[in-house]
Amino acid sequence: MPVIRKSLLELIFSGAYLLRWNDKLRPVELLEIDKQAHKMLLACVLWHEYSRGADTARRVALATEIVEGGLFDYFYRAIITDIKPPIYYRIKENPRQFRELTEHVLQRLAPSLAPLGPFWKRMRAWHLNPDEESPARRILTAAHLYASQWEFRLIEPCNAPFDDEMGDIGQSFPDRLDGFADLPGLAAMRTPRTALARLANLCGQLRFQIRWTQAPRIPSTSVLGHMFIVACLAYFFSLTVKACPARADNNFFCGLFHDLPEVLTRDIISPVKQSVASLPPLIKEYEEAELERRLFAPLRDEGFTGLVDHIAYFLGLEVGSEFQECVRRQGRVLALDDFNALQREGNTDDQDPKDGRLLKDCDNLAAFLEAHSSIRNGVSSPHLLEARVRLLTRLRESPLACLNLDALLADFD
């Protein structure tokens, strides 16, 4: 069984420290964890469109390969972050040099990832015996290029007047993306003012929303980065509880999408939300109305009704919360009582299950990592210290003993 340790949590969180485009003038800090979140949100959209009409087994298998491939690439990237892309691609052209680099990266990652057992074996195979033309790799590469181009367009106006690299870099993105023109949904995503382009832009904008605005932190994680951390945690904990593949994939995607409405409402901290009894339902009502007006209605108008249904499922709109266990049966979304009911009655791919309490614990654990990391880095405040204690208490009181959170959190004391 996979074992989750402190070193894995720190590896997942490490992307919050890794700067992107750090040899260029940047209007905002661009972080690896934000880029990975944006990439995987786009990959989810491309997966959905690619697998339209496919049977359950094929859809789930492709989703799993995309989720795990994205994680494999993220962890690899965490080690080679200082290598500029042109140099990396030159190394990749030499099979011997590239294998030596890959072996070095895997050796560095082994202490954190080897305890995950089968996941670690699949990661080694992904990097040592790559199939560059597999649908999962092509979807991930297209999503990577789109998200990188989105970042480039942020920094281009600041650098173009004096940086002679900008023209070549800018042209490299459309040139390479043209090689993936056959992927369903990508053309619409690349076309300005379409519904898919709007979705991609709104997802990217979540990197501008910094969490815990009333408590300065190092690093200052964004809503987008937080979503990726929750997604990673949700996937790995899904493996530890022997979730079926569809459930593990759904938990990852739910983690990725769970704070998407905050691009419409901003990140409102829990003490403010809870200060007035009528505030949470008012916020939720506004979020759902804005989601419908700005995202869902345009997507439906352009023929992406199935994608809307999936995003709504990840957000828990039919059952009242993204943190509610649920399944699909005979085309209907049904809420289940709790984690145990999901384990007992719903843990099969054909029911498209999704966790609730497990995801809430991952959300709290991600917030704890954000608070703990800043305090450890020497940037603290009464609000941050109180939040750390509150989150520790909530996590230790979790009814999901199977997650072994007590033992995991003991390493952070």
pLDDT value of residue 86: 81
Q: What pLDDT was estimated at residue 277?
A: 57
- Predicted confidence at residue 268, as pLDDT, reads 53
Residue with tokens 């382009």: 197
Rg (the chain; Cα; Å): 21
Tokens at 20, concatenated: 């992107």
Residue 281: predicted pLDDT: 76
Token pair 């040899």 is at which residue?
23
Residue span(s) of the chain under CATH 1.10.3210.10 come to 6-198, 223-411
Predicted local distance difference test score (pLDDT) of residue 285: 83
CA 265 vs CA 261, 285, 287, 328, 355: distances in Å: 7, 11, 7, 29, 25
Q: How confident is the model at residue 213 (pLDDT cuts 50, 70, 90)?
A: confident
Q: How confident is the model at residue 276 (pLDDT cuts 50, 70, 90)?
A: low
68: three-class secondary structure by DSSP: helix
pLDDT number for residue 265: 65
> In this predicted model, what pLDDT tens digit does every residue of 360-400 receive, in sequence order?
999 999 999 999 999 999 999 998 999 999 999 999 999 99
- Average pLDDT of every residue of the chain: 93
Q: Are 227 and 253 in contact (CB under 8 A)?
A: no
Measured distance CA(70)–CA(112) in Å, rounded: 17
pLDDT given for residue 270 in this prediction: 55
Q: Which CATH number fits domain 223-411: 3.40.50.1000, 1.10.3210.10, 3.90.550.10, 1.20.1340.10?
A: 1.10.3210.10
274 confidence band (pLDDT: 50, 70, 90)? low
> Would you state the torsion angle of the CA atoms of residues 112, 117, 119, 125, taken in this order, to the nearest 10 degrees?
100
| Fold entry, domain 6-198 | Hypothetical protein af1432 (1.10.3210)
Residue 45 in tokens = 């959209």
Please give the pLDDT value at position 264.
Answer: 72
pLDDT band at 204 (very low <50, low <70, confident <90, very high): very high
Tens of pLDDT along 121-174? 999 999 999 998 999 999 999 999 999 999 999 999 999 999 999 999 999 999
Mean pLDDT of 322-349: 96
Mean pLDDT confidence for 83-106: 90
What one-character DSSP code corresponds to residue 183?
A: S
Read off the pLDDT of residues 177-186 as tens digits, 9 standing for 90 and up: 999 999 999 9
- pLDDT value at 176 more than 70: yes
- The string of DSSP codes covering 345-400 is H--SGGG--B-SHHHHHHHHHHHHHHHHHHHHTT---HHHHHHHHHHHHHHHT-S-
Task: State residue 399's pLDDT score.
Answer: 96
Amino acid 282: pLDDT: 77
Strand, coil or helix: what is 208?
helix
The half-sphere exposure of 91 on its side-chain side, counting CA atoms within 13 A, is 13
250 DSSP 8-state letter = H
Averaged over 187-215, what is the pLDDT? 94
Q: Is the pLDDT of residue 267 over 80?
A: no
Find the DSSP H helices in 114-206.
118-128, 135-159, 166-177, 186-190, 195-205
pLDDT of residue 355: 98
Task: Identify which has the larger pLDDT, 108 or 268.
Answer: 108
- pLDDT value at 82 more than 70: yes
The reported pLDDT for the residue numbered 266 is 57
Give 1's contacts (C-beta < 8 A, 6+ positions apart): 117, 240, 242
Q: With left for phi above 0 and alpha for psi between -120 and 50, is residue 209 left, alpha or beta? A: beta
pLDDT-based confidence at 96, cuts 50/70/90?
Answer: very high
pLDDT score of 278:
61
Rounded mean pLDDT, 301-310: 97
Cβ(24)–Cβ(214) below 8 Å = no
pLDDT at 26 over 60: yes
